[in-house]
């Protein structure tokens, strides 16, 4: 078995991995290897042929493939090395990776590792959807792959369960390709996708969105013939008497994304249950020295622009680590989500440098502020006209404000 060494290995060649590798090179790392499972770069962006990518970073709205291409061009211009069509099968806590491809099975010893594997979709099984198991039930992303990359239509009459962004995008896409999209059903009292997607994908096409309503049964033994939907109460349980049958041959699920951290778990990286990603510090380093995490494998983002930014930081800090500039510390300042905040990361910071917190609120609200406090001492505040769980909030904190803080709490008031 071939045994090779690299200073930095980046796992995943989607938007996070590409940006991390480019950033590592720009910050002076000569030996970067990017490993990508598919035969092409770009990850999930390749099937996202709708526009809206890059508004924050480039001031224009690009399609997914266009956004990816900017990074692929730069990756190639920097003469970065990659293994395509290669999967990392396992990683240990000493940064030894076993990888497999048509070219062989190899062991790679990495000086530092950036985890940028992205996320996967929650399935019918994961949400324990009752009923039969006929053909015609797809995660929205799988349907997007069939339609956009393989030119295959998944059905003619669709119901969308969940109002995640991919579901909204696919409601429009199915409609444009001649399918009838009956409705989008969201179990929560608010949509989980971005407001702009509600407008551009549903309202503009007269596709109804039913909030506080969920699919509670599937029908059809061979191909899906319909679903039963019902309104739900505050405990998200179906309200008796509100059930109705909606005929359809296709159900697309857009019920959440799960960071794909099986490799991280295999290496005993300490995980965070609120995000499904690793616990990281202000350098995006995980509990394993020299192992960094960024993008959707760290926490699910709503905008790729923020993925790229986060990945660039990971790339920069990984190089700093390789140069000996980052050491694990004895103690950190802990950061905790307070009232109205679902999660916040990094979960701990050194206090040695300024940092940006990324967080999601627990419920929609208007005219509120996000506060970062050291018990009662206010360290940072961001005023928000509207706060929504679908939209990640970022807030900068200056190191010189931290003083002797041991624990910061982030809350909405």
Determine contact, residues 331/150, Cβ cutoff 8 Å. no
Determine contact, residues 50/72, Cβ cutoff 8 Å. no
Degrees to nearest 5, angle at CA 158 with 154 and 161: 110
x/- contact string, 166-205, with another protein (CB under 8 A)?
Answer: -----------xx---------------------------
Stretch that binds another protein, among 129-137, 313-321, 326-334, 378-386 (CB under 8 A): 129-137
Bridge partner residues of 12 (DSSP): none
Stretch that binds another protein, among 10-18, 118-126, 205-213, 278-286 (CB under 8 A): 118-126
Q: Which residue has the tokens 């050194």?
A: 350
Q: Which residue has the tokens 């990359």?
A: 149
Q: Containing H/E element for 146?
A: helix 140-150
What DSSP character marks residue 200?
I
Residue 125 in the binding site for another protein (CB under 8 A):
yes
Contacting residue, 63, 69, 78, 145, with another protein by CB under 8 A? 145
For residues 259 and 352, what is the distance between their CA atoms, to the nearest angstrom?
A: 29
Determine contact, residues 259/271, Cβ cutoff 8 Å. no
| Shortest spacing between CB 247 and another protein, in angstroms | 15
Residue closer to another protein, measured from CB, 236 or 399:
236
| Shortest spacing between CB 258 and another protein, in angstroms | 7
x/- contact string, 211-240, with another protein (CB under 8 A)?
Answer: -----xxx--xxx-----------------
| Shortest spacing between CB 218 and another protein, in angstroms | 8
Stretch that binds another protein, among 136-144, 191-199, 295-303, 327-335 (CB under 8 A): 136-144
| Shortest spacing between CB 102 and another protein, in angstroms | 4
| Shortest spacing between CB 333 and another protein, in angstroms | 28
Count of CB atoms within 10 A of residue 236's CB? 11
Residue closer to another protein, measured from CB, 77 or 176:
176
| Shortest spacing between CB 126 and another protein, in angstroms | 6
Residue closer to another protein, measured from CB, 85 or 338:
85
- β-pairing, 348-349 with 62-63? unpaired
Q: Containing H/E element for 72?
A: helix 64-77
Q: Which residue has the tokens 């624990």?
A: 407
Stretch that binds another protein, among 26-34, 65-73, 141-149, 291-299 (CB under 8 A): 141-149
Degrees to nearest 5, angle at CA 100 with 97 and 101: 140
DSSP string covering 288-313, please?
STTEEE-GGGTS--S-HHHHHHHHHH
Residue 128 in the binding site for another protein (CB under 8 A):
yes
Residue closer to another protein, measured from CB, 215 or 311:
215
Determine contact, residues 83/104, Cβ cutoff 8 Å. no
Residue 135 tokens read as 């053909």
For residues 114 and 97, what is the distance between their CA atoms, to the nearest angstrom?
A: 12
Residue closer to another protein, measured from CB, 77 or 149:
149
Count of CB atoms within 10 A of residue 380's CB? 16
x/- contact string, 253-292, with another protein (CB under 8 A)?
Answer: -----x---x--x-------x--x----------------
For residues 264 and 298, what is the distance between their CA atoms, to the nearest angstrom?
A: 10
Binding footprint of another protein on the chain (CB under 8 A) = 1-2, 37, 85, 87, 89, 98, 100-107, 120-121, 123-126, 128, 130-136, 139, 141-142, 145-147, 149-156, 177-178, 216-218, 221-223, 249, 258, 262, 265, 273, 276
């Amino acid at each position: 078995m071939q045994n090779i060494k690299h200073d930095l290995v980046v796992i995943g060649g989607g938007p996070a991995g590409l940006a991390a590798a480019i950033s590592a090179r720009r910050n002076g790392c000569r030996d970067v290897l990017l490993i990508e499972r598919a035969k092409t770069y770009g990850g999930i962006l390749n099937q996202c042929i709708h526009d809206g990518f890059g508004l924050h970073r480039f001031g224009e709205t690009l399609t997914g493939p266009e956004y990816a291409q900017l990074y692929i061009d730069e990756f190639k211009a920097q003469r970065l090395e990659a293994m395509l069509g290669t999967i990392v099968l396992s990683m240990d806590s000493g940064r030894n990776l076993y990888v497999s491809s048509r070219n062989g099975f190899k062991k790679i010893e990495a000086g530092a590792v950036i985890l940028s594997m992205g996320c996967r979709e929650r399935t019918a099984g994961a949400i324990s959807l009752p009923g039969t198991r006929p053909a015609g039930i797809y995660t929205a992303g799988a349907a997007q792959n069939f339609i956009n990359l393989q030119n295959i239509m998944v059905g003619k009459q669709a119901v969308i369960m969940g109002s995640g962004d991919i579901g909204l995008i696919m409601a429009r896409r199915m409609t444009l390709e001649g399918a009838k999209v009956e409705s989008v059903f969201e179990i929560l009292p608010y949509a989980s996708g971005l407001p702009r997607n509600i407008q551009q994908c549903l309202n503009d096409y007269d596709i109804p969105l039913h909030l506080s309503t969920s699919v509670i049964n599937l029908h059809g033994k061979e191909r899906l013939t319909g679903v039963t939907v019902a309104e739900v109460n505050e405990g998200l349980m179906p309200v008796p008497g509100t059930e109705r049958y909606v005929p359809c041959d296709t159900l697309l699920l857009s019920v959440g994304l799960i960071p794909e951290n099986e490799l991280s778990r295999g290496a005993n990286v300490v995980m965070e249950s609120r995000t499904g990603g690793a616990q990281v510090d202000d350098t995006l380093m995980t509990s394993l020295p020299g192992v960094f995490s960024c993008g959707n494998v760290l926490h699910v983002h709503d905008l790729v622009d923020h993925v790229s930014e986060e990945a660039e930081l990971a790339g920069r800090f990984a190089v700093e680590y390789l140069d000996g500039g980052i050491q694990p510390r004895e103690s950190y300042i802990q950061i905790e989500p307070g009232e109205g905040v679902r999660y916040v990361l990094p979960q701990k910071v050194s206090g040695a440098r300024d940092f940006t917190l990324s967080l999601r609120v627990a419920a929609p609200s208007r005219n509120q502020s996000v506060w970062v406090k050291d018990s009662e001492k206010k360290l940072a505040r961001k005023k928000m006209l509207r706060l929504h769980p679908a939209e990640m909030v970022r807030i900068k904190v200056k190191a010189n404000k931290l003083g002797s803080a041991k624990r910061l709490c982030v809350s909405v008031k």
